[in-house]
Amino acid sequence: MTSPHGAGPTSGRADLTAEEPDPRRWKALSVTLVAGFMSLLDVSIVSVALPSLQRDLGTTPAQVQWVVSGYALTFGLALVPAGRLGDAIGRRRMFLIALAGFVLFSALAGAAPNATLLVFARLAQGIAAGALAPQNSALIQQMFRGAERGRAFGFFGATVGISTAVGPIIGGLILALAAGPDGWRWIFYVNVPIGVVALLLAARFIPHSRRRSRGHIDVVGTGLLGGVVLALLLPLVEAGVGGLARLWWLFPVAAVLAVGFVLWERREERRGKEPLLDIRLLRNTVGYASGVALGTVYFIGFSGMWLVFALYFQTGLGFTPLQSGLAVTPFALGSAVSSVVGGRLVARLGRLLTVMGLSLVVVGLAATGVVLMIAPPHTAGYLVAAPLLVAGIGGGWVISPNTTMTLRCVPVSKAGSAGGALQTGQRIGAAIGTATLVGIYYAALIRTGGDIHRAVAIAVGLATATEVVALGVGIMEWRTSRKRARLPATPVPQAELPCPDLH
CB within 8 A of 357, min separation 6: which ones?
Answer: 338, 342, 393, 394, 395, 396, 397, 398, 401
Query: What does the chain come to in residues?
Result: 503
> Of the given ranges (186-200, 281-295, 407-421), which has the lowest mean pLDDT?
407-421
Domains belonging to the chain, first-starting first, are 25-496 (1.20.1250.20)
**What's residue 492's pLDDT?**
44
C-alpha pair distances (Å), 373 with each of 159, 209, 300, 314: 31, 55, 22, 16
**What's residue 193's pLDDT?**
94
What is the spatial distance between Cα 347 and Cα 404, in angstroms, rounded to a whole number?
Answer: 9
| 308-326 pLDDT, tens digit each | 888 888 888 888 777 877 8
Q: How many CB atoms neighbour CB 90 within 10 A? A: 21
Establish how many alpha carbons lie within 13 A of residue 161's alpha carbon, considering only the half-sphere containing its beta carbon: 36
- pLDDT > 90? residue 192: yes
Concatenated DSSP letters for 229-285?
HHHHHHHHHTGGGTHHHHHTTHHHHHHHHHHHHHHHHHHHHHTT---SS-THHHHHS
Backbone Cα Rg of the chain = 22
What is the spatial distance between Cα 312 and Cα 457, in angstroms, rounded to a whole number?
Answer: 10
Mean pLDDT, residues 185-206: 92
* Amino acid symbol at 465: A
Closest CA relative to residue 119, chosen from 61, 174, 172: 61
Closest CA relative to residue 318, chosen from 389, 241, 385, 380: 380
CB within 8 A of 49, min separation 6: which ones?
Answer: 171, 175, 183, 184, 187
pLDDT more than 70, % of the chain: 88
- pLDDT > 80? residue 443: yes
Return the sign of the alpha-carbon dihedral for residues 408, 409, 415, 421: negative
- pLDDT > 80? residue 5: no
Helix pair angle (219-237, 61-89), 10° resolution = 150
What is the spatial distance between Cα 235 and Cα 244, in angstroms, rounded to a whole number?
Answer: 5
Q: Please give the helix or strand (H or E) that residue 182 lies within, else none.
A: none
